[in-house]
Amino acid sequence: MADTAMSGSGTAAGDNEPSPGYGGEHPIQTAVWRLRSRGCWSDAAALLEPHASAQPRIALQRASLLVERCLFTEAGWSEAEDALRTAEAVARSDDERGAAACERGHLAYASTVLGVRDRADEARAALGRAAALLPPAAPGRPLLDFRRGLIAEHLADSTQAARAAYRRAHAGATTHGDVLLLSFTWRHLAGLALRDGELAEARHGFAESLRIREELGYLVGTAPALVALAEAEPEPESSRLRAEAGRLFRLLGGVPTWLAGQLDAEPAA
């Protein structure tokens, strides 16, 4: 399957997310990021659980982690739904409600694109609700723009709308310093360039995406980035990148699960 499952699960900067690479992180946030980056979403969510019922941003972060676990493992949907309902219940401001709606839209998108259950209408409605709640300059707006791009590309098959949304997300992520989100916007813009036969532009975008993930230590997102770059490289470099991705995939226990077919490898036990 195409690399759509993980796409859009990456946010790093902002009060409701661990921000790797920046100074002054709270020790719990540093621990959450390290666990998340290695695919230990349940452990990361457990660190946040004691604070989730009273702190809307922590509740949202916990839900986001569990949604990301769904995207990588194609499992854990009920727990993600429960965490998201908690985040929606404790949200107080428009920004918090908008961010929760954005996460609900992403969970519905994930369920649809992974073939679990068609929730495309719910995804569109939730992201529309988020757009009404989040002003253009809100820190959560770039992530919303990116996720609307995913809907346009993978559910509506509208390349033009997807490209415009990814570009807005890219500019916003640059403004807000959301470096991990930039790795996603780079890769998806590169994917559209590859579709159009723009190999040099595609290689540049894929390489930037990979560089960011390696620099941040986002280990669980590195194998998909390697595979994406391999699609734009000639042999023997393409095979080398795929082999490296395969080793990392097996090291992490076969996640993301949907990458197995692209690597022609079986997930490790």
d(CA 186, CA 205): 5
Kindly report whether the global pTM for this prediction surpasses the value 0.85. Answer: yes
Task: Provide mean pLDDT across the span 156-171.
Answer: 98
Classify 68 as helix, strand or coil: helix
In tens, the pLDDT along 25-34 reads: 689 999 999 9
Reading the block at residue 232, the tokens are: 């734009």
pLDDT at 263: 86
pLDDT at 97 exceeding the cut of 70: yes
Cis, bond preceding 256 (omega within 30 deg of 0): yes
CA 110 from chain centre, in angstroms, equals 10
pLDDT at 269 exceeding the cut of 60: no
pLDDT at 120: 98
In tens, the pLDDT along 198-213 reads: 999 999 999 999 999 9
Reading the block at residue 170, the tokens are: 């890219």
CB 245 within 8 A of CB 221: no
Task: Provide mean pLDDT across the span 234-257.
Answer: 97
pLDDT at 25: 61
